[in-house]
């Protein structure tokens, strides 16, 4: 693994045990080629901010599935801890049944490969990676431990990535939403967009 990990690089592949549908399942990231993947890391099961994120991504999973995207959550907990957390009701601090797999990274190898492991705390920071159909990382965001991410913004960025990949002669300006105007990345043609401002 390179010392400096950035967008445009292949996503580090991994094989790990996940909990999905209250069952243990071996998964490989490369098995998702041909789909987009939102791969997000969180510090620990049975904590505070984490269940809010995990539940929110699960509740919105159909929106991601509708645009050929799978979600994978990863922490340094064991698959047994994941299962216990899934079997705990949301009102009791659990996450309940989830629409996507929770991956166990007990050896901390996946977190280290994605450069989100906080060695002092021994847990992953809140890293989120959007990986395209070819397995290339297109977006990275990393939050510190005490504040959560936005499902809306993740979905918006994913849609922008998909749009520019399907329309290589277009780029998406600030706060772009599906159906909004794009611009042509050309010094002359881009003026058509700027004239509308």
What pairing do the DSSP bridges indicate for beta strands 15-20 and 126-131?
A: unpaired
Which pairs count as long-range contacts for 159-162, CB under 8 Å and 24+ apart, including other chains? 159/67, 161/36, 161/130, 161/132, 162/36, 162/67
For 30-106, where are the E strands, in sequence order? 36-41, 69-75, 102-104
Catalytic residue, chosen from 11, 18, 50, 104, is 50
Tokens matching residue 160: 């922008």
Q: Cα torsion for 123, 161, 156, 102, to the nearest 10°?
A: -30
Q: Judge whether 172 counts as a catalytic residue.
A: no
Contact (Cβ atoms closer than 8 angstroms) between residue 169 and residue 43: no
Bridge partners (DSSP) listed for residue 25: 18
Catalytic center residues: 50
């Amino acid at each position: 693994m390179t010392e400096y990990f950035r967008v445009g690089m292949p996503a580090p592949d991994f094989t790990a045990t996940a909990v999905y549908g209250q069952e243990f399942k071996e998964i490989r990231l490369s098995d998702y080629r041909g789909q987009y993947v939102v791969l997000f890391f969180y510090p620990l099961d049975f904590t505070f901010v984490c269940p809010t994120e995990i539940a929110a991504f699960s509740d919105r999973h159909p929106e991601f599935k509708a645009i050929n995207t799978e979600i994978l959550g990863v922490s340094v907990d064991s698959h047994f801890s994941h299962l216990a957390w899934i079997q705990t009701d949301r009102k009791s601090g659990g996450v309940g049944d989830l629409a996507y797999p929770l991956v166990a990274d007990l050896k901390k190898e996946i977190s280290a490969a994605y450069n989100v492991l906080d060695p002092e705390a021994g847990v992953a920071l809140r890293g989120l990676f959007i990986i395209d159909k070819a397995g290339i990382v297109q977006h990275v965001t990393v939050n510190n431990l005490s504040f959560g991410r936005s499902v809306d913004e993740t979905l918006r960025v994913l849609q922008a990535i998909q749009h520019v990949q399907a329309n290589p002669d277009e780029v998406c300006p600030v706060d772009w939403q599906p159906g909004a105007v794009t611009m042509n990345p050309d010094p002359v043609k881009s003026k058509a967009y700027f004239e509308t401002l």
